[in-house]
Each structure stands twice: as C-alpha cells, then as structure tokens.
Amino acid sequence: MKKKKRAGIKAKLLLGILPVVILGINAVSFLSGQLATNALLDTTDKYMSAELNGNINSIDAKLQSVRSSAETLAVLVSNTYKNDDMLVYKKIFGDFVSKNDFVRGSGIWFEPKVYEGDIRYKGEQYVGPYWYSDGKNIVEDWSYSNASYDYFSQEYYKLAKAQKTNAAVITDPYYDEVSGTIMATCAAAIYNNKNEYVGCVTVDIDLKTITTMLDNIKVGETGKARMVTADGTYIYTADITKAQNGINIAADTDPINTISHDVVTQDAGIAQYTDSMGKVYAYFGTIPNVNWKLIVYMPYKEINAPSTAMTTVTVPISIGVMVVSALVVIIIARSIAKNVKKVNAFAGNLAEGDFTVDELTVKSGDEVGEMSRSLNEMYRNNKGIIGNISKEAVNINEASTTLSAMSQELSAEFGRIQDNMTNVNEAMMNSSAATEEVSASVTEVNNSVNKLAEETARVTEEVKVIAERAAKVQKESLAAHDSAIKVAKEREDELNAAREKAMVVKEISKLADMINEIADEIDLLSLNASIEAARAGDAGRGFAVVAQQISKLATETATTVRKIQETTSSVQLAFADLTASSEKLLVFVNETATPDYSKFTEIGRQYGEDAGLFGELSRTMAEMIENIRRTMEEVNTAVQNIAEGTEDTASRSADVTGAVENVSHAIDSVAELATNQQFTASALAEIVNNFKLN
C-alpha cells in the first residue's frame, strides 16, 4: 500500500518556526509600545496632578493670607470706628499696603452716618477712604466717596453685606486699565458690638504674582496652564488680551472650548480635545473658596514621544531579525533533514518490532546525533526490557490498583482544600471592603482636621488682638492709678498748707479781740477826757472835741472789729467745711478710687495673661492638630498598604485555588490512568510476542 506523501521536516520547520518568530517579534514590539504608552500616561497623570495641586495650593495660600488680613482689619475697625480718626487708620492701612507687594490698595467703606471717630466726617452719607502706595508714599484717596461712584452699589460692598460674619470674600478678577493688570477685591464685613452691619474693609489684590507664577509653568516642552473663573471667564492665558477682554473659555476660538462644560461643571478631572498638534490631555482643579479653575495641558504626541521613538527603532530591528531567522532556519533544516532520514529508517524497523537490524553509525554531536545514540541505547536496552515486560505486567497491574485508590483519596483531600481556599477568598474580599470604608473615614477625619486647623489659625489671630488690647488696658489703668495717687498726695499737701494758713485767721481773730479791748479802753479814756474837759470849761473845749473824735474812732473801731470777728468766724467755718470735704475726697481717692484702679490694673494684667494663655493653648492646639493630620496621613497610607496587601493576597489565593483545582483534575486523570493501566498490563504479554528479538 502506497503511503501518502506529507511535508518534510524542512518545510515544517520553515512553516512552523518562521510564522511564530514573526508573530512573536511583532507581538513583543506591539506590547512593548503599548506598555510604554501606558507607563508614560500613568507617569504623566501623576506628574500633571502633582503640578496642578501644587499650584492650586500655592494660589490658595496667597488668597488665604489676604482674606485673613482683611478680616483682621475689619475687626480692628469695628472696635475703634467711634473713637479713632482717619490719621490712625491711614497709619494702620498704609503700613499694611506698603508691606504687602501682593496688595495694590485698601479701603474702609462705612454705612451712611455711622462713622463718629473724626468730627470732619461725622454724619456724612459717604465715608470711604482708600489708601494706596505711590512709590514710598501712602496716598489717601477720597475720589470714590461720593454719590457718582456710589460704593453701596458695587459688587464688593454687596458681597460683604450679604455675609453674616466678618468672613472675607473675594470677587471675580477684573482687568484694571489704569494699572494694566488683572485684579480682584477681597471684602470683609464690619459688625459692631451689637452685631449691626456698619460697612466693610476691602483689599485690592494684584494678581500679577499669580499670573507670573502661572506663566512660568511649563509642562514638558509645549504644555502650559490657563486659569478661569467659576463661570469660565479667563483670568490667565498665554494670550493676555483674552483675559483683558473678559473672554469666556466656551467662546474661545481655540479647540479647548470643547471641554469648557467639563471645566465649569466639575471640581476636578481630566479632559481631552484635539487641536492642530493632535490630541491634547487637559488636567483641571478648583481653587478653594473662590472656585477659580486651574488648567494644565500637554499634547498627547509629546506624552507618547518616547514610545513612538522606541517603535521607530524596533521595527527595522524586527524586520532584520525575521530575515536572519529565516536563513538560519533553512540551513539548520537541511542539516537536520539529512540525519533525520537515517534515524527515521532505523526507528521504522524498531517500530515494526525488528530488533535484528544493525545499530546506527553516529558522527555528529548535535541533537540528532544525541537522538541516534539514544536510539542505539534504546535498541540495546529494549531487547532485555521487552523480555521482562511480560513478567512485570502483573506487578504493574497491582501497582495500578493501589495508585487508583490513592488517587481517589488525594482527590477528596484536594476538594476540601479547594473549599477552604474559597472561604479564604471570601474573607479577603470582606477585608478589602472594610479597608475601603476605613480609608473613607480617614479621609473625612482629615477634612475635619483641616477645617479645625483653619479655625485655630483664625482664633490665634484674634487672641493676638485681645492681648494687645489687654496690654493697653493694663498700661492705661496703671497710669490712671499712679495719677490718682499723685493727685491725692498733691491735694493732701495743699490741704496741710491751707491748714497752716488757716492759723493766720485765728491770729487775726485774736488780734481783733485785742483791738476790741483797746477800743473799749480808748472809749473809756475818751469819756474820762470829756469829763475832765467839761470840768475845765472853756480851756478844755478843744480837748473835749478831740476826746469826742477819739470816742467816735473807738466806736468805729469796735464796729469794724466786730465785723472782722464775724468775717473770720465765717472764714473759719467755711475753711472747716472745705477741710472736711477735702478730707472726705482724700479718703475716697485713697480708700476707694486708688484700690479700684489697682484692681482694674490687676484685671488688665490678668486679662493679658489669660489672652497669652489662650494664645498658647491655640498654638498647642494647632500643633496637636498638625500631629493628628500627620498621624491620619500615616493611617491612610497604612490602610492603603493593607488594601493593596489584601488585594495581592486575594489574587494569590485565587491563584492557589486555581492551582488546587488543576491538581485535583490531574489526580482524577491519574486515577483514570491507573484504571487504564490495569487493562494495559493485561495486553502487554500479547504485544511482546510481536517483537523479533533473535
């Protein structure tokens, strides 16, 4: 019977190996390119996200600094607007503006007729001073404090008035034609101690610092950044005229307008669009509190450039490898085919059971030569083996029976192992879900800790203001205490001096008594003189006249002395009343006012110490909050590691389960094979009889 001709080994090698080599090389090239692209995209995601978040945090920190300053100024004005004049505010606001390059100017905008600190503006409808820096000088501008500007209708004033606290708000940026820069206004409401709205403080922010920072962002070779408001109006882009003219990203002529809806409606994300350079990846995020959107973007062509370059290099190499592989396979196939024909003829005789042929002559040392030597060895060994096969058939049959029983036992054991691994898999899945819940909880705690840190920072600022007021109260109270003691001492010294002077009044009274006695004696003498003059007759007439005048003088002197005595008595009574009142005043100052001033000074000191203690507690709380935040980050990292470990364990568990299942199938196959061997052993004796051994 003529055998059907089949393809030779050379053809099989060419048809079998070359396609595999070609497909393998192509597959490796494709997979290498794909893996490189995926790795580049993953690395780009991380890099772009880090760049985006870093710039968002920097911008938020600058804006938060301005908000805190505006809120502090608003609190200061709320406590002083009834007493401090504009010179005080000019000094405070001027120092603030001159020390902050980020600030273009700052102003106070009062409600109608509420400002009372400066008599020049008391009762005015518009009181809105504005201070800005002109070189080294601070300029006070009142040109906006009028009905034509009407600051009550301005956006910043309405936003501040809508706030229920003095929390600062920032308006959307706008282009200032005077300065030629993009600006925004931060406004903080002013509430008095009755929680009544009395105006607002504004801080004009020059966004040049932010736009310069964004201008320096360079992602790769051609990647850049843009920033828009919450509604999509440009704040910054490479074409500055778009920001100056208030162009909205949705109305932009650039293809980036196709992702405007995603940017405006989502807080963060990744979007794609196509421009003249091809596909572009855009990463965007939201700046807290102002809802401005920062966008960084890079062409996909640039992201995938290393992968493209690698593909360009590997394709020619792959083609060369395929050509060389074909030539090598052809040469090797010819050599192998020649030797295989000899081996095939020898093996054909052995296959027919003819062990009477001569052994092969082996010259080559390759695999075919090895195969020839192996066939010769098999030829020599099989003669004896085949003779013993029939004898060992019985033993094989018994071993097959034992192997079948053991296979069944192993199959049962592997079934139990498989059930246990299934339970382990379910436990791992539950652990993974629990880990995700813990991670979410840690994230919520982190958010709460960040909010608490913000509140602690605000309290620390307020404590500083309280400490300054306490120091001022203590200083003023101490000064008033010293002044009261000084005044009391001076009044006491003056009272003692007055008492000494009052002794003169008593001396005057004594002198008046003496003068009165002398007047009485003079009056008596004048009476005696008149009697003697009457006795003398005409000779004593002139003396009588003198005596009458002396008597009249004595009478008038007595009258005057009585008036002096009455006056001195009144003076003494009045001085006594004055002395009593002064002594009461001194007692009040020394025993009541001075101790009260001392207590007030002590209260001011204690108030300052309490403020210092409260500030220390705030700082301690801030440190504790920072420690909590770091701890929560470590916990979050640990949870993520546990989650990854759980996923890896689950994956390995699944692999083990699959392996157990495969082994179980293999055991079943072994059992089946053992059964088959029982039948095979019975047929071996019949088969051996077909071999020619002699």
Share of the chain above pLDDT 90, in %: 25
Please tell me the distance from the alpha carbon of residue 48 to that of residue 220, in angstroms, as a whole number.
10
Query: What is the spatial distance between Cα 143 and Cα 454, in angstroms, rounded to a whole number?
Result: 37
Between 151-165, 284-298, 388-402, the lowest mean confidence (pLDDT) is in: 388-402
Please spell the DSSP secondary structure of 117-185, one letter per residue. Answer: SSTTTTT-S-B--EEEEETTEEEEE-TTSSTTT-GGGSHHHHHHHH-SSS--EEPPPEEETTTTEEEEE
Give the highest mean pLDDT range of 244-248, 319-323, 635-639. Answer: 244-248
pLDDT of 467 strictly over 70: no
Helix or strand holding residue 201 (H, E):
strand 197-206
Collapsing DSSP to helix, strand or coil, 238 comes out as coil
Q: Residues 295, 283: contact at Cβ < 8 Å?
A: yes
Within 8 A by CB and 6+ apart from 416, the residues are: none
3-state secondary structure of 278: strand
Q: What is the pLDDT confidence band of residue 141, given thresholds at 50, 70 and 90?
A: very high
The segment with the largest mean pLDDT, out of 322-331, 595-604, 642-651, is 322-331
Q: What's the pLDDT at 396?
A: 61
Higher local confidence (pLDDT), 211 or 4: 211
Superfamily holding 67-206: PAS domain (3.30.450.20)
Helices 9-80 and 86-98 pack at an angle, to 10 degrees, of: 160
Q: How many CB atoms lie within 10 A of CB 415?
A: 13
Instruction: Please give the share of the chain, as a percent, with pLDDT higher than 70.
Output: 62
What's the mean pLDDT in 213-229? 82
Average pLDDT of the segment spanning 238-243: 87
Instruction: Name the nearest CA neighbour of 215 among 244, 185, 235.
Output: 235
Within a 13 Å sphere around the CA of 506, how many CA atoms are in the beta-carbon half? 8
* CA 371 remoteness from chain centre: 74
The answer on pLDDT for 145 being more than 90 is yes
Per the CB < 8 A criterion, the answer to whether 618 and 456 are in contact is: yes
Nearest alpha carbon to residue 205 among 156, 254, 276: 156
Between the alpha carbon of residue 515 and those of residues 523, 553, 561, 564, the distances in Å are: 12, 12, 7, 11
User: Is the confidence at residue 335, as pLDDT, over 80?
Assistant: no
Query: Hey, where are the domains in the chain?
Result: 67-206
What is the per-residue pLDDT across 501-554, written as a single tens digit (0 to 9) for each?
667 666 666 766 777 777 677 777 777 777 777 777 776 666 677 667 777 776
What is the reported pLDDT for 670? 60
pLDDT tens per residue across span 13-28: 667 776 777 777 777 7
Q: Which of 153-167, 218-232, 520-534 has the lowest mean pLDDT?
A: 520-534
Q: Looking at 50-59, 220-229, 576-585, which range is the least confident one?
A: 576-585
Are residues 117 and 129 in contact, defined by beta-carbon separation less than 8 angstroms? no
Angle (nearest 5°) at CA 502 between 499 and 503:
100
What is the pLDDT at residue 29?
A: 66
What is the pLDDT at residue 1? 43
Give the chain's count of helices (H) and strands (E).
11, 12
Per-residue pLDDT at 692: 66
pLDDT digits (tens, 9 = 90+) for 104-130: 999 999 999 999 999 999 999 999 999
Instruction: Count Cβ neighbours within 10 Å for each residue of 506-521 and write b for 16 or more, e otherwise.
Output: eebbeebeebbeebee
pLDDT band at 2; cut points 50, 70, 90: very low
Asked whether residue 428 carries a pLDDT value surpassing 70, the answer given is no
Mean pLDDT across the chain: 77
pTM of this structure: 0.46
